[in-house]
Structure 1
Amino acid sequence: MIVTGPGALPFAVQLKALTDVEGRYQPKLSGLRLIESSQDNGLRMTSRLRELEVKDLLSLTRFFGFSSETFSLAISLLDRFLSVMKIQPKHLSCVGLCCFYIAVKSAEEEKNVPLANDLIRISQNRFTVSDMMRMEKIIMEKLYWKVKAPTALRFLRLFHSHIQEQLDAESKQILSLERLEAQLKACHCSFVFSKIKPSLLAMALLCFEAQEQHEPEHSDKISEALKRLQQQLNIRDGDLVCVRELVGKCLADYATDRKSFFFHAFPSSHPAISILAIQGTPHIK
């Protein structure tokens, strides 16, 4: 957990704690490339199937009202597992739900953790609780029981807090953490970001959002703070520009698709859809 405010560790200490272990929790690049190069023939895992599963998990996150931390951790677990274990597409829903359940138990209060059979029922899957328990054990063993990963969300919150401390009251209104976290969720739905270091993705999101603002007197101050942070992280200009452009494309694509997004995961008969009919289809949140 990122702690800010009085009593928090200095930024440099928190940053070092995350960056020192960041590489150990990265998905295996060779495994991700194998998924990326696979043809969508129903026999092997593909990037499209992974993206669909992540969108399903985002829908579940919304349905249960779970935190951004839970969703981000679930995607970290899923990508790490998929990069080291070849699975058949028919097993993906069980793998995804197990990663989600592990994240829920790790990040949510115990009183808010649903029963496994309720998760299966809500997600309308056909496997059993026993199937989930077996798969969860396999996942944990393959990931060496390392759950608490330094996710892009943790970096984003730390960076945002650090930047805000350097700004005046008016400039602080420019970078909304809620909006940034919503944008990160959209990025998690795109396979391309699985291959990018969490710290770089978080930095790119902040730079993209700062670039989108059209208030020079405030955005200049933010840009200066971001430049200092970039230097502290030793991120090359070319890498940052590349990922920032990927973020922009992802968010543009997501904005086009978001009206119908939620209805992908659940059929019209699902109780979640009934709730949305009353509340209205949510934007990214």
Structure 2
Amino acid sequence: MIDTVSGSETLPFAVQLKALLDQEARYQPKLCGLRIIETAHDNGLRMTVKLREFEVKDLLSLTRFFGFSAETFSLAVSLLDRFLSVMKIQPKHLSCVGLCCFYIAVKSSEEEKNVPLANDLIRISQNRFTVSDMIRMEKIILEKLHWKVKAPTALHFLRLFHSYIQDQVPGNSKMILNLERLEAQLKACHCSFVFTKVKPSLVALALVALEIQEQHGYEHFPALTEAVLGLQQRLSIKDGDLVCVRELVAKCLIEYASTKCTKPNGQRLRWIISGRTARQLKHSYYKIAHLPTIPESSA
């Protein structure tokens, strides 16, 4: 049976937070497996940090291509990292693993009517494996993850923290934190391997803390920082840990915004699609850069 994250937006903040925190540790990628990837040499025989990051960027492009939700992308990354941390795979199998994680996430998060056929996914991503290969790989992934699919992701925490802070600050300052911008920044962090070893709750809090830090001249800055401090205390996060991850986030966003990072291959992706799929897609889907631009702050 596929495991799910229980909870409802109508529940009190403390109840929602406890539910997420109770499951967070159980869904973390295995640190020992991540370290193997981190120390692997780029010889074409082992999984490396670079390969993982390129695969996640491709999943982000696919997410935007189909117009899928941020939940789908975050869940796909969670599934991929958890699987890579427990299984030593060869680089030649990575595209199949990544696409299967993406497909599992799509079927778990999107409406059934919007779920594409496996064959269309294969064609669009220009992979050379078959639907049968995907079916076999999907079963392996689910078995290795014990059929526990819907993990509490940094996106869940980010949205919960955003809602909490909005309730803590004066009414005329509620627009200071742009959730769309925060979610775009989180997607950039997902593309960086360094955050696979950080708890989702800490990544989310660091994103919020960084965004608020940049609003230091704002009238209600003290109220915002007080709200972040309250979250930090609830999560029992040390000052040093928050500062460290906040700096990692800042560095990641700077690198993500650079030309080199935004266009690693110096060209747009080119996908092969069937006529039927082409008719179903919006015109804007044909003009998607490799990585999306993070919206400017509305402040």
Relative to the length of structure 2, the TM-score reads: 0.88
- AA partner of residue 234 (structure 1): S
Check 1:98–1:14 CA distance in 2 against 1; reply closer, same or farther (3 A cut). same
Q: How many Å separate the matches in 1 of 2:240 and 2:120?
A: 46
Q: Write out per-residue CA displacement over residues 185-229 of structure 1, whole angstroms, 9 at most, x where no aligned residue.
A: 000000000000000000000001101114332222110111011
| Greater fraction helix | 1
Structure 2 match to 1:14: 16
2:192 maps to: 190
Aligned pair in 2 of structure 1 residues 255, 173: CA closer, same or farther (>3 Å)?
A: same
| Structure 2 residue 158 is matched with structure 1 residue 156 | yes
Q: Does 1:208 align with 2:210?
A: yes
Q: CA 1:105–1:265 in 2, change beyond 3 Å: closer, same or farther?
A: farther
CA distance in 1, matches of 2:56, 2:288: 23
User: SS of the counterpart of 1:216?
Assistant: coil
Between the aligned residues of both structures, percent identity stands at 71
How far did 1:267 drift? 3.5
| Count of aligned pairs between the two proteins | 281
Q: Judging changes above 3 Å, is the alpha-carbon distance between structure 1 residues 261 and 164 closer, same or farther for their aligned structure 2 residues?
A: farther
Q: What RMSD over aligned residues (CA atoms) do the two structures have, in Å? A: 2.2
Q: Larger RCO: Structure 1 or Structure 2 (Cα < 8 Å, ≥ 6 residues apart)?
A: 2
Q: 1:267 aligns with which of 264, 267, 270?
A: 270
Unaligned runs of at least 5 residues, structure 1: none
Contact 1:171 1:221 in 2 (8 A): no
Q: Equivalences for 1:1-285 in 2 at 5 Å?
A: 3-4=8-9, 8-257=10-259, 259-260=262-263, 266-267=269-270, 275=284, 282-284=292-294
Q: Report the Cα offset of residue 169 of structure 1.
A: 2.2
**Runs of 4+ residues deviating >2 angstroms:** 1-4, 257-265, 267-272, 274-282
- Structure 1 residues 20, 268: CA separation in 2 closer, same or farther (over 3 Å shift)? closer
Contact 2:256/2:262 (8 A) holds in 1: no
- Once residues 28 and 280 of structure 1 are traced to their aligned partners in structure 2, the CA distance between those partners, rounded to angstroms, is 32
Residues 119 and 184 of structure 1: CA distance in aligned 2, closer, same or farther (over 3 Å)? same
| Deviation per residue, 1:70-118 (Å, 9 max, x gap) | 0000000000000000000000000000000000000000000000000
What are the superposed Cα offsets for residues 219-255 of structure 1, whole Å, 9 maximum, x if unpaired?
A: 2211011101101110000000000000000000001
Give the whole-Å Cα distance in 1 for the aligned partners of 2:242 and 2:269: 36
CA distance in 1, matches of 2:47, 2:214: 36
- Deviation of 1:260 after TM superposition, in Å, equals 2.3
Structure 1 residues 126, 32: CA separation in 2 closer, same or farther (over 3 Å shift)?
same
Aligned CA distance change for structure 1 residues 265 and 150 (closer, same or farther; 3 Å): farther
Question: Residues of 2 paired with 1:66 and 1:251: CA distance?
Answer: 22
Matching residue's letter, 2:169: L
Q: Which whole-Å CA distance do the structure 2 matches of 1:229 and 1:140 have between them?
A: 34
Paired letter, 2:269:
F
What residue identity is the alignment partner of 1:184? L
- Tell me the secondary structure at the aligned position of residue 17 of structure 2: helix
What is the rounded CA distance, in whole Å, between the counterparts of 2:79 and 2:138 in structure 1?
A: 11
TM-score w.r.t. length of structure 1: 0.93
Query: In 1, Cα distance between the equivalents of 2:102 and 2:217?
Result: 40
Distance 1:140 1:153 in 2: 22
How far apart in 1 are the matches of 2:255 and 2:182? 16
Unmatched runs of 5 consecutive residues or more in structure 2: none
Distance 2:288 2:130 in 1: 32
